[in-house]
Structure 1
Amino acid sequence: MTKFKKSALQVLEIERQAIEQLTQYIGDDFTKACELIIACKGKVIVSGMGKSGHIGHKISATLASTGTPAFFMHPAEANHGDLGMLTEQDILLTISNSGETAELLALVPVVKRLGVTIIAMTANVNSTLGKYADVKLCVKVEKEACSLGLAPTSSTTATLVMGDALAVALLDARGFTSEDFAMSHPGGSLGKRLLLKLGDVMVKESALPLVSPRQTLSLVLLEISKKALGMAGVVDNTGKLLGIFTDGDLRRVLDDRIDVHQVQIKDIMTQNSITASSDMLAAQVLKLMQHHKINSLFVTDSDGKPVGAINMQLLLQAGII
């Protein structure tokens, strides 16, 4: 084993143990912190210096995206005017491994005067910061993963995990849904997967490959080729879907040596096919198609009439896959 690999594995083991040890700190203080944040009418303002500040940025972002309004306030900048961001309705979540960070302690008198609740995330609950905090979340670790024992490593990992635990506990308590989550992530694939409805991505009207029951397979194949969805829908004279015929069905009938110019599609179509409704989330339909191992399906209305169609290629183009 190379020395690089050995060092890396040692770091992973130390940090794994650090996370495991956090379970002892999930107690009454953690519950109180959650209750205070749930009851908060303002925002959670996260603050920390150095590496704690970097972790604070991540925690505030996670809180904000999971239903708890939050943002990061740099303590040094706060001491020079940014403290105006804070109101008496807010909660200040301070992060300091030592609990003695000078820039954070300088904020305490003003914060206390405003009547703002302070939650301290620290390895030293008996520190000065811990003394003035209303709630203390302990993130103490046995040792840093750094071989010198100096660089914040396992301590920052533990703090980040505690922040995630706090955010998810609040998410669950609020009954935060995937739709709520999507509202905070409208851009990129997350928003598309969670917000896009099938009606937004399906083909419709003249693009639908629809045939009558008595059409021959040869004519149906022309329709399938023309509309390029890999299937055709068979409809009665009222427009109701009776069945479908797919590329997969074609391979089956060719093996049976069926005359494509004579056989009528009603005799070889697949009945009771899987369908979807246009108000379903596109991500839901993807899961449905994957479960039934199909590449395309029709979208029907309440009367069973095709109003659209979708296939894997369209879902891929829409960024759902």
Structure 2
Amino acid sequence: MTAAVDQIIPYTHIDQLREAKRIIEHEATALRNIAIDLDARFCAAVDRIEHCQGSVVVTGIGKAGIIGQKIASTMSSTGTRAHFVHPAEAVHGDLGSLHEDDIVLILSNSGETEEVCRLLPLLQQRGIAVIAITATCHSTLGHASEIAIPIGRLREAGLHGLPPSTSTTAMLAVGDALALVLARVRGFGSQDFAQYHPAGSLGRKLTSVTKIMRTDDSLRIAKETQSVREVFGQSWNQARRTGAVMIVDDEEKLIGIFTDSDLARLLACHQEQKLDRPIREVMTSRPTTISRTAVLGEAVDLMAERKLSELPVVDDEGFPVGMLDITDLIALMPQSLELNS
């Protein structure tokens, strides 16, 4: 008689999805609880880092170290000077990269990691402040830290609950919260962010509209009292002519816009008599505009939302300084920024 053998149940796609959802929901529940329990210690950490005269030096071992590298990168890109130091390398010379004005942000779930605990007396000797993200304040790391942000003793996700998963997700979330709250406290805006991200699709999205807009002799600007025939009878720069005329008042402030399509519409409707009337009578009054301080991403979103082909750029007082034309934007926009068709 053949010995009975355990039959392996096929791990179907339904089973995979069910397990994946359980893992994600487990981690999401942990994050919700951490958000509820977050207290004044988080604010103390923000205040301490905000007034730090040096850098935030992030450290951790294993998976926590990888999370630490990401947190350091996020801080660096949002206005907080930060870099990562591996704890094992620190005791082999990299401690020389630390200054007494720095703050060390240590990530360790247990708070008892050997490589991390070995650093603590060395940091204390040099008077370097320590902030910890750890499970509990009652660990070696928690006791040695000036500020400890507890994430709680979390059960890791998955069947065996062994690989760091929920704990590292929690550390990442708290680290992101630190970085982004610090950015808001410092008044770190989109223009600052653009300076740190000049390359790639993000860099293009954050490019100032002043670097893309048409200016000077590429613009068509007319007085509100001019007739349509006068305006379109003028000689314009044909090589880079925008498809819209910006209409200004006696103070040279923008009050309207008239496009080539508007002209074609008059002719198609047999309203040629309006060609000799002031252009203000047929222009679009109070047109959509964008500030010269805006970035390309904002302009693209606005043009997509309003279905615009041209977008006047104005200064703080309402004077026209440029024109964004859709034909110029298309070549610059990565796929993620493409206008709605």
**TM-score, with length taken from structure 1:** 0.83
The CA deviation at 1:231 is 2.3
Structure 2 match to 1:203:
214
Deviation for aligned residue 1:314:
2.1
SS in 1 for 2:275: coil
The answer to whether the aligner puts 1:257 opposite 2:289 as a matched pair is no
Map of 1:317 onto structure 2: 331
Q: How far apart, in 2, do the equivalents of 1:36 and 1:63 lie?
A: 14
The reply to whether residue 10 of structure 1 matches residue 22 of structure 2 is yes
Indicate conservation of the 8 Å contact 1:234/1:266, yes or no: no
- 1:278 is displaced (CA, Å) by 7.5
CA deviation vs aligned residue, 1:197-238 (integer Å, no higher than 9, x gap): 42x222233333457834549966997987553323467999
CA, structure 1 residues 17+141, in 2 after alignment: closer, same or farther (shift >3 Å)? Answer: farther
Of residues 8-17 and 117-126 in structure 1, the stretch that sits farther from structure 2 once superposed is: 117-126
Distance 1:137 1:303 in 2: 47
Q: Distance in 2 between matches of 1:46 and 1:240?
A: 52
Give the alignment partner of residue 134 of structure 1, picking from 146, 155, 173. Answer: 146
* SS, match of residue 176 in structure 1: coil
Shift of 1:124: 3.5
Give the secondary-structure state (helix, strand or coil) at the position aligned to 1:309.
strand
Structure 1: runs of 5 or more not aligned: none
Instruction: Work out whether residues 218 and 241 of structure 2, in 8 Å CA contact, stay in contact via their aligned partners in 1.
Output: no
Q: Does residue 66 of structure 1 match 2:78?
A: yes
Which residue of 2 is the match for residue 178 of structure 1?
Answer: 190
Contact 2:221–2:247 under 8 Å retained in 1:
yes
Q: Which stretch shifts more, 30-39 or 75-84?
A: 30-39
- The sequence identity of aligned pairs, in percent, is 37
d(CA) in 2 for partners of 1:232, 1:271: 10
Show the counterpart of 2:97: 85
> Over residues 34-67 of structure 1, what are the superposed CA-to-partner deviations in whole Å (9 max), with x where a residue is unaligned?
2221222111110011100110011111122222
Cα drift, residue 247 of structure 1 = 4.3
Choose which of 57, 60, 68 in structure 2 pairs with 1:45.
57
Taking the aligned partners of 1:48 and 1:289, their CA distance within structure 2 comes to 45
Contact (CA 8 Å) 1:224, 1:232: kept in 2 or not?
no
Q: State the distance in 1 between where 2:231 and 2:292 align.
A: 34
**Which residue identity is paired with 1:272?**
S
CA deviations 1:172-208 (Å, max 9, x no partner) are 322322223233223334444445142x222233333
Provide the alpha-carbon RMSD of the alignment: 3.6
Which residue number in structure 1 is paired with residue 170 of structure 2?
158
Once residues 172 and 215 of structure 1 are traced to their aligned partners in structure 2, the CA distance between those partners, rounded to angstroms, is 49
Relative to structure 2, which stretch is displaced further, 5-14 or 172-181? 172-181
Greater shift after overlay, 265-274 or 77-86?
265-274
The more displaced of 176-185 and 301-310 is: 301-310
**Kindly tell me: are residues 2 and 301 of structure 1, through their superposed partners in 2, closer, same or farther at Cα, counting changes over 3 Å?**
closer
* Distance in 2, Cα, partners of 1:224 & 1:93: 58
**Structure 1's 41 and 147: CA in aligned 2 closer, same or farther, altered over 3 A?**
same
Report the CA distance between 1:151 and its aligned residue: 0.9
Aligned pair partner of 1:308 in 322, 325, 332? 322
Question: Which whole-Å CA distance do the structure 2 matches of 1:201 and 1:48 have between them?
Answer: 43
**Deviation, structure 1 residue 99:** 1.2
Q: Indicate whether 1:229 and 2:233 are aligned.
A: no
SS at match of 1:21: helix
User: Deviation string for 1:117-144 (max 9, x for gaps)?
Assistant: 1112111432222222222111225321
Query: How far apart are 1:94 and its partner, in Å?
Result: 0.8
Deviation of 1:299 (Å): 4.5
In terms of mean alpha carbon deviation, does 245-254 or 118-127 score higher? 245-254
Once residues 319 and 34 of structure 2 are traced to their aligned partners in structure 1, the CA distance between those partners, rounded to angstroms, is 56
Does the aligned pair in 2 maintain the 1:120–1:135 contact within 8 Å? yes
Query: Aligned pair in 2 of structure 1 residues 222, 269: CA closer, same or farther (>3 Å)?
Result: farther
Structure 2: runs of 5+ lacking an equivalent: 1-12
- Contact 2:157–2:166 under 8 Å retained in 1: yes
Residues 277 and 23 of structure 1: CA distance in aligned 2, closer, same or farther (over 3 Å): closer
Contact 1:99–1:123 (Cα < 8 Å) also in 2: yes
Q: How many residues align?
A: 319
Contact 1:141/1:158 (<8 A) preserved: no
- Match of 1:263, SS? helix
Instruction: From the superposition, tell whether residues 265 and 191 of structure 1 become closer, same or farther in structure 2 (CA, over 3 Å).
Output: farther
